[in-house]
Amino acid sequence: MGEYTTFGWFYKPDLGAKGQAEKNQFDAALENIDSVLKDLDDFSSLVEKGSPVNADLLIIEDSADSYNKKQVQVGKLPGAAGEANTASNQGVGGVGLFEAKVGVDLQFRNINAGSNKVQVSHDVANKEVDIDVVPGNIAHQDLNGSGINAHAQIDAHLANLQNPHAVTKAQVGLGNVTDHAQLQRAAGDFVCFSEKLSPANADIILVEDSTDAYHKKKVRLANLPSAIWGEGVIEKSTSGLLTKNDLNKTILCTNTASLIINLPSVEASDVGRWLTLVKATDQQVTLTAADSDKIGSSKEGGYIFNDQALEKHEASITIKLLTATQWFVVAKVGTWYAV
């Protein structure tokens, strides 16, 4: 049975066969408990434990047992595993950030960069976690399908003008082109060739054949038609007298010193015959009339000449016999003087 005191109900067992000494001992123990429980009314006098653990003991009044005081472990209190709230990963794919709930602690996974190609940083001002790519740590050749060459190798290849792919002329449709200087279509193309100061009849020149769709062909100098060179070309490097057989031809003056060419004596039957002089050097060329004949505006038995050194390969003159004593200047290039 029990007895009510100002500190609550306390059980006092029947002494039965026990003696007075045992009763007194039991009562003393109960009074000691009452004293401790009384002191519990003043929590400020107790030392506080900042981090309780599940094994710590508490004193409670059991509502299911007439509010008798009992002890209980912290870990067995209702909701000891934490508050009733929780968290979960809701996305369909990817990796969730929620790890677990331990007591009242909701635990989340950290966001970590798997390599130095990605950067994870805390933007404190904006309360954000920033994830960005680090371009400087990405190697071009590491990208899928990019090949094995680095940017420096590609740049060097693009700057290489020495045919790095070893392309042949046949591969670009130029298999028939020889490895020689090619004529251009621009003005002044001939300057790329060396100069021959004394052309010969056997020399070859380039022509476009008007009877063969203007295909390019070669022609020997001596074979040029009379419309250009007469019936042929005569090289003249020393002074002397021409014959009638030399008329209707071109005299190519290849002299290395002053050259004097004397025309033959002509008559009425020679009217219409002509002669061309071409100055091929920088030396003076003189053409002298026979008998009392005149050349252009020269006097009877006079002469014409060109002494301009800079007019080599440029100066030329063509004369034609109009009468038995008069040579007419049909055409001239350069500076010719009549005397």
- pLDDT for the residue 36: 61
CA 257 remoteness from chain centre = 61
Cα Rg of the chain, angstroms: 64
Helix spans in the chain (H): 20-39, 151-159, 226-229
Residues of the chain with pLDDT under 70: 1-20, 22-23, 26, 29-45, 79-84, 181-185, 222, 224-231
Residues 6+ apart with CB under 8 A from 263: 242, 275, 287, 288, 289, 290, 293, 295, 327
- pLDDT for the residue 146: 76
Could you identify the residue written with the tokens 């680090």? Answer: 134
- Which amino acid is residue 330, in one-letter code? V
Q: Is 251 in contact with 276 (CB distance < 8 Å)?
A: yes
**Tally of CB atoms within 10 A around 238:** 11
Output the pTM of the full model.
Answer: 0.36
- pLDDT for the residue 334: 92
- Domains of the chain and any CATH numbers: 7-35+58-71 (no CATH), 232-338 (2.60.120.640)
- pLDDT for the residue 33: 66
- pLDDT for the residue 268: 92
Helix spans in 83-231 (H): 151-159, 226-229
Ramachandran bin of 252, using left for φ above 0, alpha for ψ from -120 to 50, beta for the remaining angles: beta
- pLDDT for the residue 171: 92
- Which amino acid is residue 203, in one-letter code? D
Dist. CA 36–CA 49, nearest whole Å: 19
- pLDDT for the residue 276: 93
User: Which run of H or of E encompasses 329?
Assistant: strand 326-333
Dist. CA 239–CA 182, nearest whole Å: 39
Could you identify the residue written with the tokens 């399908």? Answer: 145
- Beta strands (DSSP E) in 88-190 are 98-102, 105-108, 118-123, 128-133
- pLDDT for the residue 132: 94
- pLDDT for the residue 10: 46
CA proximity to 202, closest of 216, 227, 219: 219
- pLDDT for the residue 130: 93
Per DSSP, the three-state class of 200 is coil
- Which amino acid is residue 226, in one-letter code? S
